[in-house]
Amino acid sequence: MTFDLQRTINLARSLSLAEQLELLKVLSNIIQEKYSLETQTIEEEETDFSADSFRQSWQQAMNGQTLPLSAL
């Protein structure tokens, strides 16, 4: 645990219950936003398959420009 994180935890412990609950809400929102952005980035990377790429692959298959499975 880093020094800054420990200091932040200590500060959070010094807050009133109402302030801790508010902090919890804010942290929850921050985490959800970050998770959403990271998930979106991963999904974009996984779905980076364009129509042009498909057409090229299809054309290669139709022209017999393929490799045997044993070579893959």
Q: What is the pTM of this model?
A: 0.50
Q: Is 9 helix (H, G, I), strand (E, B) or coil?
A: helix
What are the structure tokens assigned to 42, written together?
A: 């991963």
Residue 44: predicted pLDDT: 63
Asked whether 23 and 15 are in contact (CB, 8 A), the reply is: yes
Task: Give residue 67's pLDDT band: very low, low, confident or very high (50, 70, 90).
Answer: confident
Convert the pLDDT of each residue in 29-59 to its tens digit.
999 888 887 777 666 666 666 777 878 888 8
Query: Taking the domains of the chain in order of start, what are their residue ranges?
Result: 1-36
